[in-house]
Structure 1
Amino acid sequence: MATTPTTHIIGAGLIGASIGIGLTTEGWRVTIADADEETQLLARSIGAGGARGREHPDLVIVATPPGVTAEVVVDALNTWPHAVVVDVASVKAPIAEVAERTGQAHRYVGSHPMAGREVSGAMAAQGDLFRARPWVLCAGQASAAAVALVMQVADALQCDVIEMDARAHDRAVARVSHAPQAAASAVAAALAPLGVDDVALAGQGLRDVTRIAASHPQMWADIARLNRTALVETIDHIVEELDEVRSSEDIGAAMTRLIDKGRQEVARIPGKHGGAKREWEAVTVIVPDEPGRLVRLLSDAAAVGVNVEDLSIEHSPRQPVGLTTLWVLPQHAAGLVAALEDGGWTVAGG
């Protein structure tokens, strides 16, 4: 087993604290610091790392807001001339360019763990946040030894490592991460003219589309500035697709074309465990909003040997019940429906 590097984390928000908890749990020697003393104290109190002593770190992880990441990376390279410095910002090329100008890029590795939550801060940190998620490494001019050190972090956190060029990464995340945030927020913002009763009509579709609209805005301001070119290009693409629907003489045909394009592309998004996407069938059950009912539903499904591949819950705003949709393999759907109905459940669809 390779010796774990003495690791110092700068930035104790959601990502930095989650990395700290994960590495500490794996037995790494981790220290963590934050410009905000209250945030720093919280991160240390939840096990994300300790206070740094006189020992110089082997590895410095910069987990600061994207807008200041390049500056902190340069400072870390200068402060610890023998340490490998890695950042976890979601935009890579601008930071790599700054690191290259220092003449110390052989000690810098750009990285981006593709994980997060709608909530921010150390209080939301989870040691398993990155498990089975992609962790992109943009080696650039980094030495093989520097890359290997950062690979140890990803391995300890049980990530799926993907190596990419920094600019290719930025173009890709504009489409798979940054533009979806803009689109989700735009759909949520369109609710503004609606009254309370109107919004109460919302179904699971709106909840799915707007889930990430609750994200912290300041972080996204930094990301948008750093990745402006790729983000604008992607938004232009989305606007063109929507404008084609808006301006078409036959809006139904245009909507059909757009949905068909979307169906083709969404099929390319990896499915469970990163494998090929599989077709599942929905079995929707009316579940009373009472303690233990959801557990019983899942237990009843397991009792007949059906694995629930995914699950969604839609609460009725005026009824003490919820619609719970179990996504299962098509060959199991009919048997599950029969078993649940025999068990007294009301199946609303399937």
Structure 2
Amino acid sequence: MRVLVTGGAGYIGSHTLLELMAQGHEVCVYDSYVNANPKVLDRVRSLSNGKLGDVTGDVRDAAGLDAVFSDFEPEAVIHFAGLKAVGESEERPLAYYDVNVGGTLTLLHAMDRAGCRKIIFSSSATVYGEPVYLPYDEAHPTAPLSVYGRTKLMAEQILADWSKQAGDRAAVLLRYFNPVGAHHSGEIGEDPSDIPNNLVPYIAQVAIGKRPALQVFGTDYDTPDGTGLRDYIHVVDLARAHVAALGYAAGNAGCQPFNIGTGQSVSVRQMVAAFERACGAPIPTRTAPRRAGDIAAMQADPSRAKAAFGWRAEHSLDEMMASTWRWQSQNPDGYGNG
């Protein structure tokens, strides 16, 4: 299948490219490189020994999208392109609506003009908000607590309405929990352009000496060790979910959401301990007050994805941390070191 991957040079996108190419799909990346480094595509080509098309462009640019649809003629789209920091979304709400919602609208118009009817959407578990019950299943009420989460939910609603307009349209909404880890080669991984917003890349930067200590936000939650619980998933497992979802979309019309997580929750302290095992050294930590908007626990029920397209997470917590350490230690400056 010919697959256009918007935002394909990003953290999750780059790992998905490798999985797509390994399955014989023909792939073209469309990326503005606002949150990515074009060097990652050279590494993907080297690791895959395959051909990979790439076009520089913004997902809000209708003419740019029309050009890539005309040249590449994709049969399906995997849509990663978007802004993704929860905290930043509160500071720049209009930018988040512009890119995450407006960009999705522009992309769907381009797909309609080109007759492309299949899309896999990069969504988020943040659409659920405070848990009414755990684990979250796809029937859980959606009440996002952040601008970022609201943009994801709004895009989901647009995709659901779009999918109803013709019998062959398919939109698969993948609600990610907490992606971590890196490719087993250590050649591609998460490369934050500034201070990391997420726990694991911050721990990794502490481990190599870039940051003095990890701040643990909140130690008084109603959890076994007082720190927040999250469902962490290896990025390679997440990438494979996209390939499985692509096969599902090829044979199933309509719009369906799927949780993509492990079904297990791990605390901040447990994550630190796992990383210490991976790097063989202690990780300095400091306690800090809870952050506004943080919840005590998140956990996925991923059973619908297994039933629908045979996907389940396979990597362990120790594998997640070992691959992160391999990537960070081999690339202390991320893609900036060549």
**TM-score for both structures, normalised by structure 2:** 0.39
Larger radius of gyration, structure 1 or 2?
1
**TM-score for both structures, normalised by structure 1:** 0.37
Whichever structure has more helix as a proportion of its residues is: 1
Higher relative CO (Cα under 8 Å, sequence separation at least 6) belongs to 2
